[in-house]
Amino acid sequence: MIRRLSLSDHEACFRLLKTRPAENLFIIGDIEAFGYDQSFQKLWGEFNSQGELIAVLLKYEQNYIPFASGPFHAEKFAEIMCSDPEFSMMSGLKEMTAMIEPFLTRKQQRKRETYYAKCTRIGFGITAAADTSNVKQAVPDDADAILRFLKTIPEFNDGMGTVESKRRNLGRGTSRTFYIEDEGEIVSTASTAAENSLSAMIVAVATSASHKRKGLASQCLVKLVRELLDEGKQLCLFYDNPEAGSIYKRIGFEDIGFWMMYTYEKEEGK
């Protein structure tokens, strides 16, 4: 049986999602922030014959994210998505999106696959070996300097948000940034995004071209990872660069699969 979820389903929903908190970072964070019944956010659940919740489908604006503990009714999830005129995106773990994809009748525009890795403990030897004494934690007033630095990095010069949103997220704890300066200028960073009570996404790990291969990004990342693990959170990140992946793995990240991002044509006139 598949039906809409409400606040009364919260305990069962989180019992399922907490089995893989890093993998469910976005679903957990959106539920904690916005609940079960907003105009822009809704959730559906599939229950087995014993009444146990076995799969969840989150809608956030035009994007849908599925999660299941095992086999689920992918065709019914696809029907929910395609009946929504706002639907134009799907994202999630490959083993789940791959089951839904064949049943989606909208024309697919783009499909992107990235490695998905998580960290539940810091890598062997890192804690003792890494010197993080020159790493600073950002406060909201550092938002402008952080974004100015990231705009100098080719892979981050677009889509990092506004100064206002960065300042707001640093202030309310859904994001944090650690950085290193040289002569008063930021030269390396590591940040989180979408932090929730159980997990956090690592983003914007960057070093200026003139300071590369000095281990600065690793120092920022180690300081960030230590702090989050000490809080009992699981960490996750996307990457598609094998060289970057090797750095993350030395720190303690392990590949857990692939994260997929799809875009689809909206219904005509919508």
* Vertex 58 angle, CA 53 and 62, to 5°: 160
Instruction: Tell me what pLDDT residue 127 has.
Output: 59
More confident residue, 159 or 199: 199
Superfamily of domain covering 2-114+258-264: Gcn5-related N-acetyltransferase (GNAT) (3.40.630.30)
Task: Parse the chain into domains and list their residue ranges.
Answer: 2-114+258-264, 122-251
* Vertex 151 angle, CA 150 and 156, to 5°: 65
Q: Is 19 exposed, middle or buried (0-12, 13-18, 19+ CB in 10 A)?
A: exposed
**C-beta separation of 239 from 119 below 8 A:** no
* Cα–Cα distance, 95 to 98 (Å, whole number): 6
For 83-103, write each residue's pLDDT tens digit.
999 999 999 999 999 999 999
Superfamily of domain covering 122-251: Gcn5-related N-acetyltransferase (GNAT) (3.40.630.30)
Q: Is the pLDDT of residue 186 over 80?
A: yes
pLDDT band of 172, cuts 50, 70, 90? confident
What separation in angstroms does the CA of 106 have from each of 42, 66, 95, 115, 163? 20, 17, 20, 26, 36
**C-beta separation of 5 from 56 below 8 A:** yes
Give the residue carrying structure tokens 């994001």: 175
DSSP 153: S
Is the pTM value of this prediction over 0.75?
A: yes
What is the end-to-end Cα distance of the chain in Å, rounded? 30
